Structure 1
């Protein structure tokens, strides 16, 4: 059940690849415990984990072609790491324990240093024990600015998240590994925040033009979003500009880890309110309020596309097709799957907390799903054979959605598949290394939906 405010109250690579040993420290980003007002003010602050002690973590903004350089220090009681989501990054900086780096133990630190080739909206988050650590707030925005940014009156980053709080205490429930969540839709919260706030508001002027950078940081929630008192266009998805901006005339989905850049014009009049709206089964409610004040200005018309990023040209002619089947979960339980090279029954897997599989493996397999040379083009067919949606995320690369007519759709790094749906994507393996490929419903990844591919 999703609580609104009223219901809640009623319910009561460093130098490419080498570590920076002995060199001057980068700006520090500390992962630590903190307290944050998530629930209404009638409740005490909620203990959270945050980068820099805030939720979201410190916003990082760099120019396109620049570098991100941060020493991540771990002041948490658990080991952690940082994945820089959506960046075509040096492999050693990708932040995946056991694949690209060791965990950052409590009291330890790791220096992240990498170039950012693509402008757009990205984010960073923990990639160790992610079901718990992301649910506790361990994430933040990463914005890469275009040399020629669009002309807007304000550029706002909006990180959407849902929290599962005890309605009596306002504290995060610690049932991160419960079998129902892992085997069903994932960990869904009962209160939604934007930028760590319940029902936030921003003052805007009549007819102002806003750039809204939406980031879905939730564990598993798929938002169905719309706008009220605003008109506008989606200009980028997962950080990558659309060739033709998409006018917003209806609701649109935003799956876990996905991003959408919008340029919107305020149409509400002075003293009125415009909103970003989330549509749930019981109707729509505002996520963010834009309180309008001031005299109107000249109404703008139309929008230009953002400048493209330096992505490879994709031709699917003769590109091999690889099929990845998503299997298991409640209502379509696994009959068997492999852990390593050992075949286990579905019951044995469930006892180990494994409910899902990718191509018959209920954990990241020893051999890569795809082993390719640098520069080769491949097609992947994701086939969702389960009763639940999944958000498949590819590290270190972007891919293009193959549309039903065979043409190439938008660039993405995370593709959302409904129950029983099959979708094809095409990519150029343009980034060498060992890369994770997994479901970004974080409980699904933790309980089996994890694979990888290698570019040599």
Structure 2
């Protein structure tokens, strides 16, 4: 992190709240060039990409179990596609060119139609040359509303990302720089969180929806001025709320917190140099009506229970700087193959439960994302733990997951450090 930007970020002026589109009527998103004030006021604005004239794009709020219709218009001078991250939707609506759809070419539109089955916090983003298009700003929050919302005074989204940006506001477009791709990926010298609301009161109970929308950066996060718990990860309610301490979000991961405001509220990324302020939430007045009560768990998700696994596969991450040789033809690989193979990594019958060992044989962490499904992270004893759609596997470590493959189609698995995915760390599974 550039030291000047570290200091500037602490006093960054608040932007207007995230725009929102809340309806189950047809929605419209236009991908287009935008200008955004990422840096503090007084520094230059940044030319980027976004949706509907903003970056991030508008917060979409949909109802669980009700079909959504979202028309995406491509106002760019290159192709694009939109992935609805974490939604267990129909395969043809997943937004992956070459696997589930054709590109939306410049001047064309595509209507995505799906029924969101799970309440929770999700997001949408480009899935074409996404290591560039997402870095330039093609992303936005996607909230599936609870049928019975928790008892809170505010529901606030915080979407986090980082950028390589100069003080004049210009974006450093070194997305394909070989050194960064072979290491941790394209990372910014400036980071911030965009909030959907600017102000709360002391004593308010707040649901915070944290979304890591960065292309490559892992965010260890901390909230000051609050007291509360984590109630959901990657959209899925936890059986029991847990402490916020030590919360780490890999790219694409999300966490829902319910907290009581005790003072000035700050969202920090924890670094070796100390806290790096991502956002401040203004606090004024006192809520004298709110009674302090225990924070209850959210409604549990309606997901299939795993059976005894009928397959146990291993997906090994290979390559990168300081990594061993592999048989792929790019910087990164899965199981000695770079980029999408002609045959799937795994084939499953609809409803089949499989265990997958994710083995990280590289010198860098990877956030592995499975499309169209959630899966259980297994503990050391092999017991199912958290439900996730993206799991962080540290360098030299492994993690086992258990998944009920109950969604027919061809589904992508990739590293959500998008620089790594662009340079080979992608494969797919088939469910029939």
Q: Above 0.5 in TM-score?
A: yes
Alignment match, 1:119: 119
Deviation per residue, 1:292-349 (Å, 9 max, x gap): 221353551311111112100113x34321000000100114x2424xxxxxxxxxx4
Deviation per residue, 1:92-113 (Å, 9 max, x gap): 0000000000111111111111
Alignment match, 1:76: 76
The structure number with the bigger radius of gyration is 1
1:387 paired to 2:359: no
The DSSP-based 3-state class of the residue aligned with 2:134 is helix
CA distance in 1, matches of 2:137, 2:154: 26
Q: Report deviation, 1:6.
A: 6.2
CA distance in 1, matches of 2:85, 2:35: 25
1:201, 1:289 within 8 Å by CA — same for their partners in 2? no
CA distance in 2, matches of 1:232, 1:4: 32
Alignment match, 2:305: 313
Alignment match, 1:261: 256
Q: 1:127 to 1:234 in 2, by over 3 A?
A: same
Q: Report deviation, 1:166.
A: 2.1
CA distance in 2, matches of 1:53, 1:138: 11
Q: What does residue range 2-13 of structure 1 map to in structure 2 within 5 Å?
A: 2-3=2-3, 5=5, 7=7
1:230 paired to 2:226: yes
Q: 1:154 to 1:166 in 2, by over 3 A?
A: same
CA distance in 1, matches of 2:59, 2:37: 19
Q: Report deviation, 1:290.
A: 2.7
The DSSP-based 3-state class of the residue aligned with 2:294 is coil
Q: Report deviation, 1:121.
A: 0.4
The DSSP-based 3-state class of the residue aligned with 1:294 is strand
Alignment match, 1:246: 242
1:442 paired to 2:432: no
The DSSP-based 3-state class of the residue aligned with 2:198 is strand
CA distance in 1, matches of 2:85, 2:3: 29
1:3, 1:191 within 8 Å by CA — same for their partners in 2? no
1:48 paired to 2:68: no
Alignment match, 2:100: 100
Alignment counterpart, residue 205 of structure 1, candidates 186, 201, 206: 201
Q: Report deviation, 1:45.
A: 1.5
CA distance in 2, matches of 1:318, 1:37: 50
Q: What does residue range 57-456 of structure 1 map to in structure 2 within 5 Å?
A: 57-167=57-167, 169-195=168-194, 202-248=198-244, 250-268=245-263, 273-297=264-288, 298-315=290-307, 317-333=308-324, 335-338=325-328, 349=329, 354-456=330-432
CA distance in 1, matches of 2:287, 2:120: 30
The DSSP-based 3-state class of the residue aligned with 1:132 is helix
The DSSP-based 3-state class of the residue aligned with 2:286 is coil
Q: 1:407 to 1:4 in 2, by over 3 A?
A: farther
Q: 1:387 to 1:369 in 2, by over 3 A?
A: same
Deviation per residue, 1:34-83 (Å, 9 max, x gap): 11111122122211100112111011101111122111110111100000
Alignment match, 2:16: none
CA distance in 1, matches of 2:86, 2:3: 31
The DSSP-based 3-state class of the residue aligned with 1:69 is strand
2:350, 2:406 within 8 Å by CA — same for their partners in 1? yes
Aligned residues: 416
Deviation per residue, 1:220-242 (Å, 9 max, x gap): 11011112121111100000000
Structure 2 residues without counterparts, runs of 5 or longer: 10-24
Q: What does residue range 29-44 of structure 1 map to in structure 2 within 5 Å?
A: 29-44=29-44
Q: 1:151 to 1:454 in 2, by over 3 A?
A: same
The DSSP-based 3-state class of the residue aligned with 1:381 is strand
CA distance in 1, matches of 2:149, 2:8: 40
Q: 1:6 to 1:330 in 2, by over 3 A?
A: closer
Alignment match, 1:345: none
Q: Report deviation, 1:187.
A: 1.0
- TM, length-normalised to structure 2: 0.93
CA distance in 2, matches of 1:336, 1:49: 36
Q: Report deviation, 1:404.
A: 1.1
The DSSP-based 3-state class of the residue aligned with 1:444 is helix
Q: 1:331 to 1:292 in 2, by over 3 A?
A: same
Q: Report deviation, 1:405.
A: 2.0
1:122, 1:142 within 8 Å by CA — same for their partners in 2? yes
- TM, length-normalised to structure 1: 0.88
Structure 1 residues without counterparts, runs of 5 or longer: 10-24, 339-348
Deviation per residue, 1:394-440 (Å, 9 max, x gap): 00000000111221101000000111110000010110000000000
Q: 1:336 to 1:285 in 2, by over 3 A?
A: closer
Alignment match, 1:13: none
CA distance in 1, matches of 2:431, 2:277: 44
